[in-house]
């Protein structure tokens, strides 16, 4: 496949991300406005950060005039999961690929773009990533702008429906391999079950969702790797 066809495939696969980002960043725009951030600032934040939980947290940090250090530490903790994602993706990048691509590709490591990237068989083309980014980033930025300037443009029903577009995408990535492999099916089931328990149990539920993702990933993927190490043929 040529670079251009990888790019086009990225755009096509990125459509659910565009829709989901539009909805989520729209609510971010509304929240930004009510916490006293201007449209330009909110749009710049979305464009330069491309992350949801971190940006929502930033709003309250800015509103309370906390220190820059506090901002840095909060972002580090909330977004540390990207470190795990980048580590996993590093194995899907060809070492023959010019090194500078890594600097652009890493900007696009979001939960959702990661979800699509791991879905690729074998090595990933940087142009596939760029295709996804070229719809995801405008979706995230545009939704933010619309949320700030017109909080009533998208009705609540539409927002509620679009908010599951991203989860639908995650499910589309994990279910087909789970159907083929009992081990992956088990990993998915255990992960969802423990995530549910973490969310609903007193004390455990006080752990932020970002930290919950890191803890469960280290434990579940770690234990599975020891119990069921990969054989050569089904490596990444």
Q: Which of residues 171-210 bind other proteins (CB under 8 A)?
A: 171-179, 184, 187-188, 191-192, 194-196, 199-200, 209
10 Å CB burial of residue 231 (0-12, 13-18, 19+) is exposed
d(CA 95, CA 4): 21
Whether 120 contacts 128, CB under 8 Å: yes
Q: Interface residues for other proteins in 10-29 (CB under 8 A)?
A: 12-13, 15-16, 19-20
Q: Site for other proteins (CB under 8 A): which residue of 96, 98, 103, 206?
A: 103
Q: How far is the CB of 195 from other proteins (least distance, A)?
A: 4
Of 3-11, 106-114, 133-141, 146-154, which part binds other proteins (CB under 8 A)? 106-114
**Interface of this chain with other proteins, residues 43 to 102, rule: CB under 8 A:** 44-45, 48-51, 54-55, 58, 61-63, 65, 67-68, 71-72, 75-76, 79-91, 93, 95, 102
231 DSSP 8-state letter: P
- Name the minimum Å distance from CB 232 to other proteins: 9
In the complex, the smallest distance separating the C-beta of residue 84 from other proteins, rounded to whole angstroms, is 6
Q: Which is nearer to other proteins, 102 or 138 (CB)?
A: 102
Nearer to other proteins, 31 or 50 (CB): 50
Residues 136-175 interacting with other proteins (rule: CB under 8 A): 156-158, 160-175
- CA distances to 32, 46, 87, 138, 163 from 19, rounded to whole Å, are 20, 16, 27, 11, 8
Rounded distance, CA 86 to CA 88, Å?
A: 5
Residue 231 Cβ, how far from other proteins at the closest point, in Å?
Answer: 9
Nearer to other proteins, 79 or 134 (CB): 79
User: CB 12 → other proteins: shortest distance, Å?
Assistant: 8
Q: How far is the CB of 150 from other proteins (least distance, A)?
A: 21
Nearest distance from C-beta of residue 3 to other proteins, angstroms:
20
Cβ–Cβ < 8 Å for 45, 143: no
CA distance 56 to 59: 5
- Which of 22, 30, 105, 124 forms a contact with other proteins (CB under 8 A)? 105
Q: Which of 132, 72, 75, 124 is nearest to 107 (CA)?
A: 132
Kindly state the number of chain residues that form the binding site for other proteins, as judged by CB under 8 A: 105
In whole angstroms, give the CA distance from residue 135 to residue 100.
Answer: 21
Taking the C-alpha atoms of residue 162 and residue 27, their distance in angstroms, rounded to an integer, is 12
> Residue 197, Cα to own-chain centre: how many angstroms?
22
Q: Answer yes or no: are the C-beta atoms of 75 and 104 closer than 8 Å.
A: no
């Amino acid at each position: 496949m040529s670079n251009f066809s990888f790019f086009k495939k990225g755009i096509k696969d990125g459509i659910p991300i565009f829709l989901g980002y539009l909805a989520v960043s729209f609510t971010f725009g509304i929240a930004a406005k009510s916490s006293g951030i201007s449209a330009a600032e909110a749009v710049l934040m979305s464009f330069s950060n491309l992350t949801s939980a971190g940006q929502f947290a930033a709003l309250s940090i800015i509103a309370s005039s906390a220190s820059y250090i506090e901002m840095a530490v909060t972002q580090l903790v909330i977004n540390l999961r990207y470190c795990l994602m980048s580590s996993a993706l590093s194995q899907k990048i060809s070492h023959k690929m010019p090194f500078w691509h890594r600097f652009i590709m890493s900007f696009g490591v979001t939960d959702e773009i990661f979800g699509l990237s791991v879905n690729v068989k074998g090595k990933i083309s940087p142009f596939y990533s760029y295709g996804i980014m070229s719809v995801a980033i405008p979706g995230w930025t545009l939704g933010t702008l619309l949320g700030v300037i017109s909080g009533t443009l998208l009705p609540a029903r539409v927002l509620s429906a679009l908010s599951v577009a991203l989860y639908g995408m995650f499910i589309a990535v994990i279910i087909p391999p789970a159907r083929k492999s009992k081990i992956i099916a088990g990993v998915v089931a255990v992960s969802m079950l423990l995530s549910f328990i973490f969310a609903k149990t007193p004390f455990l539920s006080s752990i932020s969702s970002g930290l919950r993702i890191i803890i469960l990933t280290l434990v579940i993927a770690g234990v599975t790797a020891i119990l069921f190490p990969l054989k050569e043929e089904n490596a990444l």
